[in-house]
Structure 1
């Protein structure tokens, strides 16, 4: 049973409101983004996010925002900033140390409960749950609900992986498309629903990809592409092509990976994000490496580094929050490995391991597995065994069939 409206209203965060001072929410959001760039973080803070902070809807920000706020307000703890303890917000057992992998069933049930029952606007309860009838007319609440579903999925997936969440997320996806197809709404609402449904299709496709359901992932990405084209949304189309390229590479369809990445780059030229173009270049490099096109791959990798070095910008899409220097090094390692250059792959993978935030267990496990494999193939069996042991210790905290398969191989 859903909590009553009165019991689900969180207390306002007066500390953040005081710290904002005379600045407007938009001005404060701009200050947050500037602070993030100063420490190499990437956040997509806007006036709406500031409003959610001040209203208490966001009881505890994610790790990237926490680091930014610590940089902006040195000496203040999360409690001083008006935030609740992370364990209380995420339902974790206080007896479990933060570095210990959590029980998957416990965390998964908590994530599903928060993401699809209580975390978003009231429309979650009526529009996105499987079997629920959509309202006669959709509006801002329904648009917000769809976008909140996307955010919650990404929040969980960033930390551990997609296993276990896929089936439930497909129900939310069906609900999002029912809102788009079966309700009356304004043109602005239609655009918001289309954007949210397309992003949700990509998120669900990624959950399928990460949990080993490659045909389902391809279907969801195709659905997102169709939605993007019908809505004339180039940013959504770029995202769908980007994920399609990654999936094609993992499935061994290297020409498709190159074509999808190149199509995305053509569309992305007008979006103003160097970091996005860097990621898309890395997707192209992955496909070229699979084709054995060493020279072309090297040129594209150099372009990816040059674009990345231009730094983050306000035009960087929110879904790229995962793309930092560690991911750049990890994708480069995969390209070198596909070309058989295992010494260079090991060097890049070692860099990725060193840079990766340890809270993101799946990616850390992935980079360690890649490092161990490339060390072994380059002849350094002793270090490979040490790294493999470290990677195996992360196994209980990884809910990603894709990464668990690599770890098992290691």
Structure 2
């Protein structure tokens, strides 16, 4: 069979922001976790995979690649032979201390800063549509890592990118048509940087970036961008325990023409409104919002915008669980959250931590202390792999509530263990 270029793997490198050497380094680091020792992957291996010279890599490379991209070998463009199979990772005789998450965050953040191609954004001269597209491509590249790493690893990279774009806006020339597109792309980047700052616990930075995004959205005449920012501002208000303000902002977003025209956005907005209504005890309105969210999601088709790529059936189910949790229906909340975790794709690592904590919380509130402790233990273990102050705060709150059950041996053991490890 003649060799065929692996365009799927090539696209994944672009999507995740890897150079050939960076992916080889990441394969070696991931292999340390999978096999207990690194492989000897080089950029030459990566080039051969992409060129189609190697259609099915050795398992010592294939398993790390699955971990990195969260996809099956076939989805990465590899072609199995009749005897090809992916073996299970080898079992280890003793647990290995987890030091890799911080290294991985630093590695990817540093790699992204280089791979985003910020130096290619002109600092003088005239900007055209190709420059706008280059700026637009920054946001999807960042969001691919946000789902796994959390905003704590990305907000500085996003703000660095925004500085490059600001410089171009203020030192280059461009026509009116390009100007509108530039403001839309800049607002998209500012809104994304605001989300990463929000997730990292930097609420003042998030507010400032959201304000910039709103202004850019108005200058660009981009109603969708403005509706997106209103949605994020509602989430931030809820995080700060300003529930009525969050509901008012969310209601304004739902009423926008852009939200009514985009079922992806409308579904998300109604889900978040459902949680908000539940938090203030409005049961009927919460249930009505959940029904509207499902109805809107049924009308979706194609692919959503990059920032909405997390909106899957698992996310809708998890938010329904959060709604029932806020209404005090702990059994139903736990069932829905468990279902969401079952459906959640591997690439959504931060959301896995978030919903594992939610599951533990529902079990604890429902009086199932020992089961809650088991879920909390799982959340703590996988929580080390993401950098999200928002998720960490949720886990800290669960641990504080666990103190009320310190008379239960399992809870006492969990509290002591997390105290010793600083988790």
Report if TM-score (shorter chain) is over 0.5.
yes
Task: Give distance in 1, aligned partners of 2:387 and 2:378.
Answer: 17
Q: How does 1:99-178 map to 2 (within 5 A)?
A: 103-120=100-117, 124-125=118-119, 127=121, 134-178=123-167
1:102 CA drift (Å): 6.8
1:137–1:183 CA contact under 8 A, matched in 2: yes
User: For 1:340, what is the secondary structure of its paired residue?
Assistant: coil
Q: How does 1:259-408 map to 2 (within 5 A)?
A: 259-268=248-257, 272-310=261-299, 312-314=300-302, 316-408=304-396
In structure 2, the CA distance between the partners of 1:293 and 1:190, relative to structure 1 (3 Å rule), is same
Task: Give distance in 1, aligned partners of 2:333 and 2:190.
Answer: 32
1:369 CA drift (Å): 0.4
Task: Give distance in 2, aligned partners of 1:353 and 1:197.
Answer: 34
TM-score (norm 2): 0.69
Give the CA RMSD over aligned residues.
3.1
Task: Give distance in 1, aligned partners of 2:351 and 2:99.
Answer: 16
In structure 2, the CA distance between the partners of 1:338 and 1:219, relative to structure 1 (3 Å rule), is farther
Aligned match of 1:23: none
Can you give the 5+ residue segments of structure 1 that lack an aligned partner in the other structure?
1-12, 18-53, 72-76, 82-99, 128-132
Task: Give distance in 1, aligned partners of 2:378 and 2:355.
Answer: 11
In the TM superposition, structure 1's runs of 4+ consecutive aligned residues that sit over 3 Å from their partners are 13-17, 60-64, 268-272
Deviations 1:159-202 (A, max 9, x none): 12011332232122122233233321123322332122111111
1:390 CA drift (Å): 1.5
In structure 2, the CA distance between the partners of 1:143 and 1:371, relative to structure 1 (3 Å rule), is same
In structure 2, the CA distance between the partners of 1:364 and 1:315, relative to structure 1 (3 Å rule), is closer
In structure 2, the CA distance between the partners of 1:109 and 1:141, relative to structure 1 (3 Å rule), is farther
In structure 2, the CA distance between the partners of 1:118 and 1:306, relative to structure 1 (3 Å rule), is closer
In structure 2, the CA distance between the partners of 1:301 and 1:102, relative to structure 1 (3 Å rule), is farther
1:271–1:315 CA contact under 8 A, matched in 2: no
Task: Give distance in 1, aligned partners of 2:230 and 2:387.
Answer: 25
1:210–1:401 CA contact under 8 A, matched in 2: yes
Moved more, 177-186 or 266-275: 266-275
In structure 2, the CA distance between the partners of 1:177 and 1:271, relative to structure 1 (3 Å rule), is farther
Structure of higher CA gyration radius? 2
1:281 CA drift (Å): 0.6
1:15–1:80 CA contact under 8 A, matched in 2: no
Deviations 1:259-289 (A, max 9, x none): 2222222225576432321111112222222
Task: Give distance in 2, aligned partners of 1:125 and 1:168.
Answer: 13
1:252 CA drift (Å): 1.4
TM-score (norm 1): 0.71
Can you give the 5+ residue segments of structure 2 that lack an aligned partner in the other structure?
9-49, 53-64, 81-96, 400-423
Number of paired residues?
A: 328
